[in-house]
Amino acid sequence: VHRDIKPDNILFADHSTSLSQIKLADFGQASFFSPGEGLIQGIVGTPYYIAPEVLGGKDYNEKVDVWSAGVILYIMLSGVAPFVGETPQEIFEAVLCGRLRFPTDRWLSISHSAKDLIRRMLSRDVTKRISTDQVLEHPWITTHALCN
């Protein structure tokens, strides 16, 4: 589990092409985890990207990284974060209490399929949040994938 997925930690392998592979960097907060092994504890990460179960002090698993990737996807498609605040504490409160919204002015041209993927990635209920495998199998991903 990476535990600090954010745009600063996503790098392009080759800047000379728009089809470059991306690489995940900064594994300083990462924790080895095997499904069925148990859950992880501890609050780590960057405010906008921390999953609600981490902020709530609950045990968590690899789905915290799905949450973070969902926040990044939301930002990439809309240009703004899904949960905002002036201070880290306000951001945490927005993540814990706020509702996911898709304001018409920013989301009018975004497909229902893209919004469905984001809703599933940003489910507050970790048991309903999709897995990384399910993200890769989602219709929005499979219909827009550039390669297999």
> Where in the chain are the domains?
7-144
From 112, 127, 138, select the one nearest 59 (Cα to Cα): 127
pTM of the model: 0.80
| CATH class of the region 7-144 | mainly alpha
Q: Is residue 8 among the annotated active site residues?
A: no
pLDDT digits (tens, 9 = 90+) for 90-136: 999 999 987 899 998 999 999 999 999 999 999 999 999 999 999 99
Chain-centroid distance, C-alpha 137 = 16
Q: Which one-letter DSSP state was computed for residue 49?
A: G
Instruction: Give the 3-state DSSP-derived string for 17-40, with helices as H, strands as E and coil as C.
Output: CCCCCEEECCCCCCCCCCCCCCCE
- Point out the catalytic residue in the list 4, 26, 65, 105: 4
pLDDT digits (tens, 9 = 90+) for 26-38: 655 655 666 666 5
Q: What residue type is 148 in one-letter code?
A: N
